[in-house]
Amino acid sequence: MLVAAWAAAQDPLPKLPYDPYRGMDENGRIPKPPFPDDLARPERWRYTPPARIKPGSMLDRFWVSSFVTPVFFREQDIGYGGGVAITDLDFLDDNFRQFANIVATYSAEGQQTYRIYWSKWLNHRPMPNGGIIREERARLYARGGFEKTLTRRFFGFGSRTPSSNETSYTEELSYAGWGLRLPLPDEGSNWLGRVDVEAMHHGLSGGRVQSVPSTDQFLPSFQKAFADGDDYDQLWFKGSIGWDSRDSLAQAYRGQRLAVSVAAAAQTSGDFGAILGIDGQHVFPLPPLLHRGGEGREENPPTDVFAIGFFVQDTIGELPFYSLPTLGGSRTLRSYIQNRFTDRSAVHLSLEYRVNLIERGYAFTDTIRIERIGLALFYDLGTVASDVDRLADGRWHDSYGFGLRAAFSREAVFRVDIGYGDEGSNFTIAFGNTF
């Protein structure tokens, strides 16, 4: 009796029979119903109509709120490989309170990835029509995994390292952690805090990339960095606090952010190390270019934006080379390979023009649909240095390019980017916007 009463109090409204168009139009438009009057910042609450809350197991909800993506790849240094990526927007069929992402891959040469990410929305309410609303910011989350990567790259320290200094190493990384993000002091506040705790173990061995030297057999400085970082444990304590007026963390259409952060590590070596940071964003909507914009009161109206994001990081104490600030890869200087530039300090600036191509996505069936399909044009600029005071004297590098965006919801954005720069191009596939 007590259990049943508690469950009813948590979700007092009964679930209605599933209807693939209940609460939304057939063209994909989602009319936003009246929200409760006591919501302090209603623009930060995401509405999910009952049409997108199909009940049942992951198989019952396949391509509605759960997605299984096969992964296949072949590279000379890691061989043929494959696996699966599972994304569940309604993990455990919990009325869109929980999210989970699971990835498992393996290659012929032994490259491996096994990881899981879970989160739960802390501010969540059922709606009278059978849908739900949830405040996007307050979340509890956890993650863990094991990765064996055969092709990690290291080019040395500084912004002037030549591409001829490219070396490779193998890293075995085990990790587990949890975190909490909350608006402070209440759900309507612009102040946003976050805390994380994460344990890591790093094991290094010789590289497998046939075309470049192994890091442990290159210059003496590379050999020392490699030896100092092998068989290494870290316990990270991370925190941030910032003023954040954006209407969304995952895909903002307007607002600003300015925050400070610290990530401190207790380590095998006994040395203290930490990275101090400051980051900011400004996002503002633009007139629609290829569509007509939203129609009336609409959840996630198609909106074109121009976004600016930056960060500055500085290291105090001692950290292994792979924990230092770095540029290059899927989120910074996107034309360069992952970890192309490494040093104790870094600064980075990104500009993005995000345009909706298909204003309300594409429906494959009455239940399987992509909510938004868009294009992003971007420009990245950044450098690294041995100290934050020397960043201005570093060699500045830039990237430009474009990418496609596919969103199954405002909080679930998949992107494909190709960047161009002085060392050629780089292609990346990732979950979520870069900032």
The yes-or-no verdict on residue 235 having pLDDT over 80 is: yes
Residues 175 and 265 sit within 8 Å (Cβ to Cβ): no
Rounded mean pLDDT of 220-247? 97
Rounded mean pLDDT of 9-24? 69
Q: Work out the mean pLDDT of the chain and round it to a whole number.
A: 92
154-164: per-residue pLDDT in tens?
999 999 999 99
The yes-or-no verdict on residue 334 having pLDDT over 50 is: yes
Rounded mean pLDDT of 346-373? 91
pLDDT of residue 9: 45
Domain 2-431 has CATH 2.40.160.50: yes
Query: Which sequence spans correspond to the domains of the chain?
Result: 2-431
Cβ-count burial of 424 within 10 angstroms (0-12 exposed, 13-18 middle, 19+ buried)?
exposed
Answer with the residue of higher pLDDT: 71 or 121: 121
16: confidence class by pLDDT, cuts 50, 70, 90: low
Residues 280 and 295 sit within 8 Å (Cβ to Cβ): no
The yes-or-no verdict on residue 362 having pLDDT over 90 is: no
Rounded mean pLDDT of 420-435? 92
Rounded mean pLDDT of 191-213? 96
Rounded mean pLDDT of 217-238? 97
30-58: per-residue pLDDT in tens?
999 999 999 989 989 999 999 989 899 98
Residues 43 and 137 sit within 8 Å (Cβ to Cβ): no
Taking alpha carbons only, the member of 311, 292, 304 closest to residue 352 is 304
Distance, CA of 16 to CA of 58 (rounded, Å): 19
- Identify the three-state secondary structure at position 227: helix
The yes-or-no verdict on residue 6 having pLDDT over 80 is: no
**Share of residues in the chain with pLDDT > 70 (%):** 96
Long-range own/partner contacts, residues 297-301 (CB < 8 A, 24 or more apart):
297/31, 297/32, 298/29, 298/30, 298/31, 298/32, 299/30, 299/31, 299/32, 299/46, 299/47, 299/49, 300/30, 300/46, 300/371, 300/372, 300/409, 300/410
68: confidence class by pLDDT, cuts 50, 70, 90: confident
3: confidence class by pLDDT, cuts 50, 70, 90: very low
305-317: per-residue pLDDT in tens?
999 999 999 999 9
Phi then psi for residue 391, to 5 deg, are: -60, -40
8: confidence class by pLDDT, cuts 50, 70, 90: very low
Distance, CA of 236 to CA of 295 (rounded, Å): 46
The yes-or-no verdict on residue 1 having pLDDT over 80 is: no
Beta-bridge partners for 133: 47, 125
The yes-or-no verdict on residue 4 having pLDDT over 80 is: no
The yes-or-no verdict on residue 13 having pLDDT over 80 is: no
Answer with the residue of higher pLDDT: 14 or 269: 269
Rounded mean pLDDT of 252-277? 96
20: confidence class by pLDDT, cuts 50, 70, 90: confident
Distance, CA of 433 to CA of 308 (rounded, Å): 12
pLDDT of residue 14: 55
